[in-house]
Amino acid sequence: MPARTLILLLIGALLGGCSYFGGGKSAQFDVEQLKRADLRQRAEQGDSEAQYQLGLAYCCGYGPGHTETVARGWFCKAALNGHAGAQFQLGQLYGFRAAKNRPMSMPAYPDYAHLWYSLAAAQGHRLALAYRDALERDMTAQQLSRSQDWSSHPRDAGC
């Protein structure tokens, strides 16, 4: 093979999609896999934004093994680290999606939703404020009191 052809193939492989050398889709998958691995590593080291992003990924079906339970775990870690977006997402999970599929013997989900919406609203999350206010209209005094008690120590709410 002439040197010129070899150089062109090498440049094409470096700048292009590497399809000649077996790249293409699998190379893109490897990049995404590396991004997820980096995100997970940062999340496990306590990076609240990475924890929140992993929660979104598992909640919204990104990657293998996505479940609401795993998503909630990552959202909890980020929320306890003060991430307003994660606090809002927990409010969403407890207030709307999760509550529809739970048996009546489970804890009162409006309490949890109100807690997380309140914490996010306290940080200026406008949508959380609106959801919290709407939720309050349907809550009992006991549920509202329990949520307010948890607001000073949210770990006690079972996150």
Segment 105-159, tens digit of pLDDT: 344 488 889 999 999 999 999 999 999 999 999 899 999 998 988 888 888 877 7
The arithmetic mean of pLDDT across residues 71-84, rounded, is 94
Which range, of 10-14, 46-50, 88-92, averages the lowest pLDDT? 10-14
CA dihedral 121, 125, 127, 132 (to 10 degrees): -10
The answer to whether the CB of 92 falls within 8 A of the CB of 109 is no
Residue 72's nearest CA partner among 49, 48, 93, 43 is 93
Q: State the pLDDT at residue 57.
A: 83
**Dihedrals φ, ψ of 103, to 5°?**
-70, 160
Confidence class of residue 22 from pLDDT cuts 50, 70 and 90?
very low
pLDDT at 69 over 60: yes
The answer to whether the CB of 53 falls within 8 A of the CB of 67 is no
Q: State the pLDDT at residue 83.
A: 97
**103 vs 48, higher pLDDT:** 48
Alpha carbon distance 43, 49 (integer Å): 8
Q: State the pLDDT at residue 15.
A: 37
Which range, of 28-42, 66-80, 142-156, averages the lowest pLDDT? 28-42
The answer for 36, left when phi > 0, alpha when psi is -120 to 50, beta otherwise, is alpha
The arithmetic mean of pLDDT across residues 25-35, rounded, is 62
Task: Determine the Cα angle at 108 with ends 103 and 113, to 5°.
Answer: 115
